[in-house]
Every structure is written in structure tokens, then in C-alpha cells.
Chains A and B, each alone.
Chain A
Amino acid sequence: MVISDRMTVLRNGRLVGEYHTAELSRLELVSLMIGREFGALAEVERLAEQAGEEAATVPVLRATGIGRKGSVAPLDLQINRGEVVGLAGLFGSGRTELARLLFGADRPDSGQVTVDGKVVHLRNPRAAIAAGIAFCSEGRKGEGVVADLSIRDNLILAMQAANGWARPISRKVKDQLVEKWIKTLDIRPANPDALVGKLSGGNQQKVLLARWLVTEPKLLILDEPTRGIDIGAKTQIQKLVAELAQEGMAVVYISAELEEVVRLSHRVVVMKDRAKIAELDQHATVDDIMRLIAHVDERSEAVAA
């Protein structure tokens, strides 16, 4: 909006119109881009607040002193039932690394994690999954979807892996699950046999989300779920997260878009230089977080000087 003089808006392969940038407000642009889905963002906010009021203080996951050398400095973290905890920080601040530790994708070398009061050894993803933790990686293509498999196969992959190879999920159950989630998440094309590699980024992300929701996790870790996808899918995913939290799921939400983090989260953990530097409550604003990150910067620079 800073650069262009004129803008052409396209939606679902159709021309919506061409507008002079000066005459178009940001709000109008968004509403043109997502069509009648506008207002969903407002609903996300409403849902998130509602859930915040009801947020229980039953801890789902409690980590003490969890860390890994060269990756994340030991830190404490508690995530409660029905709560969305945002992880904010700059790129390279350790937010992704922390998420990977919580899922056992990298093995933590210090600290202890309890899920529902029981000690869990996060040796590998299987252990985390068995404990009811799910993780959508930020590398959607590289570490997320299996491109050459169909939507159906991708959806049931985590569930099948948990079941073991000898107990295949029956065709009937598969079809029910697939139908349900394609509908719920509005995955397009709605053809279960379509190869995931041919889907748009947003739809791939939805398939990935559905893969984990099928396993009915207690804790869902989302690393950059809205990066590089269209604005319609972004709103859909945020709305889904808010709804899931309302139903009682604990969510860890990582995004570089601080507005998103603030809008959705009940608590925000701020990361900086591979360590946790602060924990803010629901009323935190983007400015608060920015100031925290910048403030420490100034201080460390002062020390350095």
C-alpha cells in the first residue's frame, strides 16, 4: 500500500476490481480480498476474549527448567486447559526451538515436563504424541505435509502412526473422518484423493491441522500456521484456534505477526536471544511486546558500550 498507486484485487481466480490506492482504506481492501468472510476477524477477537474469561487454571502441560544447549536456555512454562499461549519474539529468538523441545522433535537436555500431572520423557515425537501433544511445524512443505500422498492419507497419517502399522484404520472410519474435516475446515478441492502437493498453501496448512485434530490432542502447538497463506485461510485458521480453545484445548501459538498473537492469546511469552524474557497477560498489546524486545536490546547495547 506504500508502494503502489493502483491495485488490482483478485479473488478465487476472478477479477474483483481495480482501485486507486489513495482512495482505498486498509479495511476496505481486506474486505474486498476476503469477500463476505469479512467480520470473521472481529469474531476471532470476541471468541478469544470469551474463552479468556472462562479459561480454567487446570494445567495441561507444565515444564520446569526445560532447555537444550545452544538452542533454548532453561525456562519454566505452564499451559492451562482452554488457554492460548502465544510465543512472541524475533526470528531466531528461540520460539521455534522451544516448540520443537515441547514436542520432542529435538530432545531436551535439561528440565522436566509433566502432562496432566504425569511426568513425560520427550525423547521423540512419538512420546509426545502418546502424551497428547501435537505440533504443526513452520516448515509446512519440508516437515509438514507429505506432498505425493492424497488428502485422505495425509489426514490419517498421525492417527495411523499412533495405531501402529498392523492395525489399519478401516475404510469406513477413514471416509467419515476425511469427510468431516474437509467440511469443517473447508478444504478445497474437497476431493479426498487429490494430492496434497497440488493444494494451495492455505489448504495444505488445513490438512496438516486436521491431521493433528483427528488425534484429539490435549495440547496443540502451532508454529507459524498462517505464514505464506492467503488472507481467507488465515482468518479461518485463527477462528478455528479460538474455537478449539473454547472447547478446552490448550494451544501454543507462534507467529511473527504480533497482531495475530495478541488477538488470539490469553498469555504471551516473549522470547529473546534463545531465552524467555517475559510473560504478559491477556491485556498485552503489540506495543508492549515490541517495547520489551527493544528495551532489552538497548540495555544490552548499553552494557556492550
Chain B
Amino acid sequence: MSTDLTFEQVVRDHQEMVFRTLLRLTGSREHLDDLAQDVFLRLYRALPSFRGEALITTYLYRIAVNVAQDEWKRRRRDRNSHVSLSDDTSGWEDRLAHPDRNAEQQMEESEFAQSVEEQLQCLSEIERTILVLYHQEERSYDQIAYALGMPIGTVRTHLHRGRKKLREGLQQRPTHERSATCTANR
């Protein structure tokens, strides 16, 4: 019982990070709760083989990425691979507070953030994952390399390529356009 209580504390400590990462990797709040539960259950099952060579957080990122990959595969199977973030259940970027800016700037930034989000979903899975882990989660190259099981050089290459595609995608589309058309090359 004490182990369960301890694990419950581990869940409490990391649940927000897992939800946040999964939300951006999958681009949807749909099934987010189930996916997050899956992450922690996989962690629990993997704990006996966890040798502590990495932080549990880094280990969790690895599992979260695996769960997100499974979700992408499931969506591909369902022929529902593209999910717009402009639905009613998302739009988290609209709620970001910018107390030092006026309303027009806030709206402008909000629309830009949404465009970035849409273009992010157009990148390849690996590029999106690396961009999210590096920028949003502020993970180091080492940690990303461990989480994804790839060399650091490859992580750098994907990061650079992902940012370039993101910029090109944003350059090729008007900011007022709300459709989630992918303009970035895969």
C-alpha cells in the first residue's frame, strides 16, 4: 500500500508535465486523460527495470513520447490524423496572459501562436517531438537524445530542420488565415 501511495505522489509531482507534453505532441485534448494514465501505468510497470541512470522525469518523457507515437498510429489507422486546434475544447493559447500588452497585440500574438501550433502539427512526428521537448519543456540535447534513443547530432539536425520548416510554413501562409492547412514540407 505504501508503494502505491508513493507512486501516487510521483503521479502528482509529474502529472502536469505529462498532460502538457501530451497535449502539444498530440495536438488535441481528446483522450488526454487516458493517454496520461497510460504513461503512468507504463512507468509503474517499467519501474523494476528502471536503473536510475536518468532522472525519472527524463524517463517519463521517453514514455510520453512512446504513448504519443501510439496515438499517432491509432489516428492514422482511423484516418483522422489531422486535428485542428481551433476547436472549442482547445485554444489554450487564447488564455495565455500578457498583462503588459494591449488587447490588439494580445490577439495578434494569440493568432500567431495558433498558426505556430497548426504548423507544428504539420511537421514530422520526430521534429515536433524535439521542438516540444527543447523549447516547451526546456530539455537539454542529452536528455532529448536519451528520451528518443538517438544520437545528439541527430537531435540537433531535427531541431534545426524543424525550426526551418516552421518558419517556411509560417512565411507561406497569411496570418489571418484560420484553416489548418499544412504548408510546411514534410
Q: A and B from one assembly?
A: no
